[in-house]
Amino acid sequence: MTERTTFLFIGDSVTDCGRLDDPDGLGHGYVRILATSPELVGATVINRGISGNRVVDLAARWEADVLALRPDVVTVLIGINDTWRRYDSGDPTPADRFEHGYRELLKTLDAPLVLMEPFVLPVNAEQQRWRGEDLDEKIAVVHELAATFGAHLVPLDAALTARAVGKTAAALADDGVHPTDRGHELIAGLWLDTARASGLV
């Protein structure tokens, strides 16, 4: 059982996973897996993911969905929609704007932080371009912010990409972005690895 009492997870659809339709409010993804793990027995686990969110959307709800809840540990997974909207809507989020918005959020916190890399596991030719043209810069921002704020970093993009070698990416994220059950299991495991190593659980 962890000594930490409230773990809050915030981000986009990868975190959301239908939480609003779940009586427990956890959704059916990695947050639920973590909430039922032995390491978090006795803790309060809160899911504040919302599908489609970008950094600017987190800023609009940060006070109500994070600060007002006074969590003991905050985990953030954001960025893939800041990349995706460039390609499906012609609405890019430049890396400097992403960095500024993300930094302003983290400056408001005094709880331990876990930052997770946004990721893509390309399943088509267009997604092959995303990382080099856009997402790599945002992953670098997450690394920089983790170092600046003393946050614990979960290398999702690197780890999931490595695990997709020799398999189809779709086995972990069938559309390249939204994890399958196996993908969520891996995300939960990677979070736990980081949390154990850093003494958060």
Task: Show which residues are catalytic.
Answer: 13, 175, 178
Label residues 189-198 b or e (16+ Cβ within 10 Å = b). Answer: ebbbebbeee
- What's the one-letter identity of residue 77? L
Q: Closest Cα to residue 93, out of 113, 115, 78, 77?
A: 78
Percent helix / strand / coil, the chain, rounded to 5: 50, 15, 35
Contacts of residue 184, defined as CB under 8 A and 6 or more positions apart, other chains included, come to 17, 29, 30, 33
Q: Closest Cα to residue 9, out of 64, 37, 49, 69?
A: 49
Contacts of residue 34, defined as CB under 8 A and 6 or more positions apart, other chains included, come to 7, 9, 40, 45, 188, 191, 192
